[in-house]
Amino acid sequence: MGELKLVRRQRERLGDQLYGQILERIIAGELREGDKLPSENQICQAFSVSRPTVREALMRLHADGLVTTRQGSGTFVKKRPSDQLTRLVSVSDIAGMLRCLEVRIGLEGQAASLAAQRRSVPEMERILEALATLRASFTDEAVPALADYAFHRAVAKASGNAFFAELLEMLSGPIQGAMGVALGLTRAGSKERARRVIEEHEAIAEAIEAGDAEAAGLAMRYHLNRSRQRVTDGQRDL
């Protein structure tokens, strides 16, 4: 990895660029599972970046479950995103998808709690309809990403606060892109994955229907957190 320079792009954080370029090497197979990454010092020098930039990139790789740190011996590649994922999207899209899910955890967690307290009867019906469509779309020829987005929009609307649905709308591009990829992987992947995705949505809908604000917020944040892990993990059923 040492012979490479950071290709600097305008208007993008250095930490993000470095993250993307290490991720590219993992995807390309230049860095394989179990391989040790260069030390922080070596990365600083190889890419001509400061230590905080290196730490930020490593922290993000860590949070995405791509590398692991064994105390006292360094940082190692933990897993490689699936070939399916890397055929479907570019590296910068993967970073964008993960970033988008991070925002949604705060935003939609709050919306789900409020929906449990305020949803009207027709709003609850729309949530359940979207859930039924999502369930069907895994067996049909339908497109799960649309049903998935419809579910999350229905929850946002049921919060009784129009700002939630509006902000979600602004994220709809990256969200639907990410869902398309994640659910594409899920369908290609296995029945196990599809089952888990459906169960997570069911837990959200149940908690909203029961009027349990704490459980609804928890179920939504748990689902988005797991989705984040599913993006980078093609090997296993999450």
Binding site for a second copy (CB under 8 A): 13, 15-16, 50-53, 55-56, 59-60, 62-63, 65, 68-69, 71-72, 99-100, 102-103, 105-111, 113-114, 117-118, 120-121, 160-164, 166-167, 170-171, 196, 199, 203, 206, 210-215, 218-219, 221-222, 225-226, 229
Q: Which residue lies nearer to a second copy by CB, 63 or 143?
A: 63
Closest contact distance (angstroms) between CB of 225 and a second copy is 5
Q: Which residue lies nearer to a second copy by CB, 107 or 143?
A: 107
Judge contact between 134 and 148, C-beta under 8 A. Answer: yes
Judge contact between 42 and 2, C-beta under 8 A. Answer: yes
Side chain identity, residue 137:
S
Q: Rounded distance, CA 228 to CA 64, Å? A: 8
Judge contact between 185 and 82, C-beta under 8 A. Answer: yes
Q: Which residue lies nearer to a second copy by CB, 103 or 150?
A: 103
Closest contact distance (angstroms) between CB of 85 and a second copy is 19
Q: Which residue lies nearer to a second copy by CB, 30 or 42?
A: 42
Q: 191-209 vs 213-232: helix axis angle to the nearest 10? A: 160
Conformational region of residue 34, where left means phi above 0, alpha means psi within -120 to 50, and beta covers everything else: left
Q: Rounded distance, CA 238 to CA 235, Å? A: 9
Q: Which residue lies nearer to a second copy by CB, 85 or 168?
A: 168
According to DSSP H, which parts of 51-159 are helical? 51-63, 83-88, 91-118, 121-137, 144-158
Closest contact distance (angstroms) between CB of 4 and a second copy is 22
Q: Which residue lies nearer to a second copy by CB, 1 or 218?
A: 218
User: Residue 135 corresponds to which tokens in the numbers above?
Assistant: 């369930």
Which three-class secondary structure state does DSSP give residue 75? strand
208 backbone dihedrals φ, ψ, rounded to 5°? -65, -45
Q: Which residue lies nearer to a second copy by CB, 32 or 195?
A: 195
Closest contact distance (angstroms) between CB of 3 and a second copy is 23
Closest contact distance (angstroms) between CB of 64 and a second copy is 9
Closest contact distance (angstroms) between CB of 183 and a second copy is 19
Closest contact distance (angstroms) between CB of 53 and a second copy is 8
Judge contact between 114 and 161, C-beta under 8 A. Answer: yes
